[in-house]
């Protein structure tokens, strides 16, 4: 039997909603998620939500513009599979206006993936050879988007496999998670 590819759970902008975040982490635990990236605005939330979900994977977080704990980094990197991943909230890199700045910084860290939040809108694209991904917001989506989060699989061959997830009827229960086409 082939070994399952590592999979990263990407979450952002929980804004104090630890109940929903814990439900996302419970879903991730049941799915066999390898690691978690939290992209700010609620940077204190993951610790409580991990405890509530009884899920303690390797994880990284960064500070968003709504986070006051300046001991939390505003950007960081992590590695999973054969990829280096750059994490930031996005507000310091002008993601609402484009991706040139973010791509430049991610490339300076030798990252193949740049993860960001801030806009509360799920998005992914390949920009200058870098996977740019925003998981959306698990608690306060903007525009016509639903609450969302993302996963990225890291198959041994081929490119990354980003997927978005949302909650049926806006309520987060494990059985209600479904793939969300963006």
For every residue of the chain, DSSP letters joined together read -PPPPPEEEEE---TT-HHHHHHHHHHHHHHT--EEEE-SSSTTHHHHHHHHHT----EEE---TT---TTS-SEEEEEETTEEEEEE-SGGGTTTT-SHHHHHHHHHTT-SEEE--SS--EEEEEETTEEEEEE--SS---TTPPSEEEEEE--SSSS-EEEEEEEGGG---GGGEEE---
Give residue-wise pLDDT tens across range 34-51.
999 999 999 999 999 999
Pairing, β 130-135 against β 113-115: parallel
What are the sequence ranges of the domains in the chain? 10-179
Give residue-wise pLDDT tens across range 165-181.
987 655 554 445 566 66
Sign, Cα dihedral of 172, 30, 52, 164: negative
What pTM was computed for the model? 0.92
Encode the chain (182 residues) as per-residue pLDDT tens digits: 557 889 999 999 999 999 999 999 999 999 999 999 999 999 999 999 999 999 999 999 999 999 999 999 999 999 998 899 999 999 988 888 888 999 999 999 999 999 999 999 999 999 999 999 999 999 988 888 889 999 999 998 888 999 999 876 555 544 455 666 65
Quick one: fold of 10-179? Purple Acid Phosphatase; chain A, domain 2 (3.60.21)
């Amino acid at each position: 039997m082939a070994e399952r590819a590592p999979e990263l759970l990407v979450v952002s902008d929980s804004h104090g909603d630890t109940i929903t975040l814990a439900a996302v982490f419970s879903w991730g635990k049941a799915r066999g998620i390898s690691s978690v990236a939290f992209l700010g605005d609620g940077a204190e939330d993951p610790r409580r939500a991990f405890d509530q979900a009884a899920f303690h994977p390797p994880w990284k977080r960064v500070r968003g513009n709504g986070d006051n704990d300046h001991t939390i980094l505003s950007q960081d990197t992590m590695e999973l599979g054969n990829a280096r991943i750059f994490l930031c909230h996005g507000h310091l890199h002008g993601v609402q206006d484009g991706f040139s700045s973010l791509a430049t910084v991610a490339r300076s860290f030798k990252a193949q993936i740049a993860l960001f939040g801030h806009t509360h809108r799920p998005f992914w694209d390949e920009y200058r050879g870098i996977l740019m991904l925003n998981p959306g917001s698990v608690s306060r989506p903007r525009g016509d988007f639903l609450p969302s989060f993302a996963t990225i699989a890291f198959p041994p061959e081929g490119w990354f496999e980003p997927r978005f997830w949302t909650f049926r009827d806006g309520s987060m229960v494990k059985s209600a998670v479904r793939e969300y086409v963006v």
